[in-house]
A and B are shown apart, each in its own frame.
Chain A
Amino acid sequence: MIMVPSLGNFSLWLALCFAIFQFVISCKKNNQSTLYLNRIAVNGLLLCAFLSFLSLMYSYLVSDFSVANVFQNSHTTKPLLYKIAAVWGNHEGSMLLWILVLAIFNYFIFKLYNKTNSIFISKTLETQAFVTIGFLLFTLLTSNPFERIIPVPTNGLGFNPILQDPALAIHPPLLYIGYVGFSAAFSFSVSAMSIESIEKVPWYNYMKPFVLAAWAFLTIGIAFGSIWAYYELGWGGWWFWDPVENASLMPWLLGTALIHSLVTVEKKKMLQKWVLLLAILAFLLSVIGTFLVRSGILTSVHTFALDPARGIYILVFIGILGTYSLILFATSTKKNFEKNYVSFLSREGSILINNIIMIVVCSSVFLGTIYPLIIEAFSNNKISVGEPYYNSTVIPIMIPAILVMGVGPLLSWKKIDVKKIFWKTLPSIVLTIIVITIFLWIYQSYNPLGIIGIILSCWIISNIIFTQNNIPKFSKSMVMAHLGIGLLILGITGSSVWQKEKILRMKVNDEIIIHNYNIIFKEIKEVVEKNYIALQGNFWVYNKKNNIITKLHPENRFYPVTNNSTTEASIHTNLLRDLYIVLGDGNQKDGWVVRVYYNPLVVWIWIGAFVIFLGGLFSININLKILKRLSL
């Protein structure tokens, strides 16, 4: 089985051939044979990408250290799950996954082929093939995962233990479905702009399920990244405004705007030009995000092997994609792209507000991320932009968006009656007031941001509850996603505004009190596992009435293979709060550094994200049904 990596390498080159083939035939004049040839190209590409990916996975499973990539990122003692996850836990392997996802989306685009849309789909496949070629060349020329080393080492270098976490194992695949999904939106957009007879094709209907898929998977992918940061980094938080996090948040924001304006195009044929631009930008930002992380131009918590040559390549590729699509955008003039008249007090008005706000937030995040780079390029000074900037720009801008979100789904298309809307939302207003009063009465906490957060969350959720019956069936998925946002805000507010943190040196039998909980440091012992040795603390948590609630076991792990240590937070979760303990450095004599966090409502962040994800999935299903009806 020594041939397997060579097979992987070979099928990757073959995939390149199929992609080029697809590009060439799609460029040609359309006829019956195009469909036939395209079928060969699309299936061939998918098969080769899949085969190549499997080959690498096989090399990881059998720990074939003749493959440099496996040698650098795996180790025989590594648990099976992380051997599999290691395939995409590094730069080269993740590019292979990226290509596989591209091929899968390519296949789904091809599936849309029918007699009425052949020119449009053909053009889309051409663009998609071009994007795929770009990434294939990048992988083969600068980051080939199948490179061999001679002589074969006896064992691997392991991989970063901080990355050995189930949440992080599935985080990249989900995220890549998101990023790559926008490539389909990009291709549709380019195709719609370059075809003369586009009036006849409902391109937005084709684009929508892909955008929904990208957006839903991006949502859950970001959530898993955040879960990883929360459980594994041991800093007590779940979002740090790190460049990598921003890189995933920006396409998400644009994707949110894109979904909403696609609905407007669908219903009113307005904002078409705008949607085309958003689709382009969402994908460009996805690739720029990748560039920022992989080129070493910024430092972040993500450590990928840095190589300027790769950076130059991706940058040139982004340059080609961006220049072509944005110039096409600036020059294409089609009458039906121009219909834009909006009354603000209408469904489309509320969507427009959503769009504007998402763009502003996205720009703020983008500016915060690249501003230090721009400053450095022009003045040689170094600055860093941190959390305070993002909190003070993003939060205030988001507040009106969320207010509008509560009422938007109740508005009708075109004009509405303000009085009617007031009566419709009155129950929610009343309920929100009641809840906030009860809340203030019980908790006696008057933090303004916290109160605003609770109000917003309450506003959205109660609007959904009271209008349940008026919502048409096909909008249920939207309602679900909005509910998820409501829950998400609840979690974000609770955990950021009312978080409590205590850091101190504790000896065995010391006690600490945090928010009505009494925590006793019972013992510390050594635990030996297959690939690490850990110091494990034993903490008993009591409530006010002196009943034991839980025993927490934070660990300080040492991985001999890579000679580094990690902290493993121990967390007790319920629907109201998390208790979070981290064991730091220390010794018997002076005690250990212990950090204890009381994080209210954190779990609602993940629940919210999951509900949004489900809403997205249902919506894909509904939109696919609409598409089926179209093709009949």
Chain B
Amino acid sequence: MKKKILIFPFITFLFILIVFFYLLVIERDPSELPSVLIDKKIPTFEAESLLNKKKFISKNEFGNETTLVNFFATWCGPCRDEHVYLKRLSNEKGLKIIGVNYKDDSNKTVEWLKELGNPYSDVIVDSKGLIGIDWGVYGIPETYIVNSKGIIKYRLVGSITKKNYNAFYSKIKKSED
């Protein structure tokens, strides 16, 4: 009886080893955090628009086509890097991208867009980060895929890069299924 207990550390060890092994072998991204908003309707909001004179009302803007919502700011380095890919998505793929200018200086943003080009159909001013809170943003950049029914299908934490661009684009195409 007593001897059997002695094998217990080994069995526990083996169990943990198998879990680790499984997690290493499968494709996974430890930094990926699913949003609670996935498969839910977008949070409704009204806000000032940076480029247009009229107010931005979310009800009127979503629900016709696949739309990306990109949280960005001029003070965020990775946002600058991802800008190229946003432009590709908007120019080459013809996607509608709404930018949320998160906790930023509006004048700087206008200059920034002049310098780098504007991939956004509209830019919303979120100077206090309140829209960010509604969407559950915790760090920028973050990009959400909203399908033509106004439902959030995917959230990308961090920037769009050369590495994840294709995977991200296939997620966009899949969002309509």
Contact = CB atoms under 8 A, between A and B. Distances in A.
Interface string B1-33: 001001101100110110111111100101111
A376 B22 CA distance: 10
Contacts of A370: 16, 19
B43 interface: no
Contacts of A374: 19
A376 B23 contact: yes
Interface string A298-311: 11000000001001
Contacts of B23: 297, 373, 376-377
B65 interface: no
B61 to A, nearest CB: 29
A295 B21 CA distance: 11
Nearest to B20: A315
A298 B6 CA distance: 30
B17 A298 contact: no
A344 to B, nearest CB: 21
B10 A373 contact: no
A99 interface: no
B112 interface: no
Given A298-B30, A311-B24, A373 B9 contact: no
A312 interface: yes
A330 B24 contact: no
Contact of B10 (A291, A326, A585): A326
Contacts of B77: 563-564
A330 B7 contact: yes
B45 interface: no
Contacts of B7: 330
B94 interface: no
A33 interface: no
A585 B33 contact: no
Contacts of B169: none
Contacts of A546: none
B81 to A, nearest CB: 10
B30 A585 contact: no
B150 to A, nearest CB: 25
B111 interface: no
Nearest to A384: B33
B105 A587 contact: yes
B9 A281 contact: yes
Contacts of A297: 20, 23-24, 30
A330 B6 contact: yes
A275 to B, nearest CB: 14
Interface in B71-85: 75, 77
A64 B6 CA distance: 53
A166 interface: no
Describe B's contact surface by its main secondary structure. Answer: helix
B24 A382 contact: no
Nearest to B5: A330
Interface in A267-300: 273, 277, 280-281, 284, 288, 291, 295-299
Contacts of A281: 9
B10 A319 contact: no
Contacts of B19: 370, 373-374, 377
A297 B16 CA distance: 13
Contacts of A312: 21, 24-25
A431 to B, nearest CB: 43
Interface in A403-435: none
A327 B31 CA distance: 36
A382 B33 contact: yes
A277 B9 contact: yes
A237 interface: no
Contacts of A284: 13
Interface string B43-74: 00000000000000000000000000000000
B13 A326 contact: yes
A329 interface: yes
Nearest to A298: B30
Nearest to B103: A585
A452 B3 CA distance: 41
A202 interface: no
A630 B9 CA distance: 33
A557 to B, nearest CB: 14
B20 A291 contact: yes
Contacts of A291: 20
Contacts of A563: 77
A331 B30 CA distance: 38
Nearest to B34: A382
Interface string B147-160: 00000000000000
A291 B30 CA distance: 15
Contacts of B17: 315, 318-319, 322
Given A382-B33, A585-B75, A327 B10 contact: yes
A33 B18 CA distance: 43
Interface in A537-587: 563-564, 585, 587
B10 A330 contact: yes
A205 B103 CA distance: 62
B12 to A, nearest CB: 9
Contacts of B34: 382
Interface string A161-192: 00000000000000000000000000000000
A311 B16 CA distance: 14
A493 to B, nearest CB: 30
Given A273-B6, A376-B23, 5 more contacts: A297-B23, A326-B9, A327-B10, A331-B6, A373-B23
Interface of A: 273, 277, 280-281, 284, 288, 291, 295-299, 308, 311-312, 315, 318-319, 322-323, 326-327, 329-331, 333, 370, 373-374, 376-377, 382, 563-564, 585, 587
Interface of B: 3, 6-7, 9-10, 13-14, 16-17, 19-25, 28, 30-34, 75, 77, 105
29 contacts: A273-B6, A277-B9, A280-B9, A288-B16, A291-B20, A297-B20, A297-B23, A297-B24, A297-B30, A299-B31, A315-B20, A315-B24, A323-B10, A323-B14, A326-B9, A329-B6, A329-B9, A329-B10, A330-B3, A330-B6, A330-B7, A330-B9, A331-B6, A370-B16, A370-B19, A373-B23, A374-B19, A376-B23, A382-B32
| 4 closest cross-chain pairs (CB), A and B | A326-B10, A330-B6, A330-B7, A299-B30
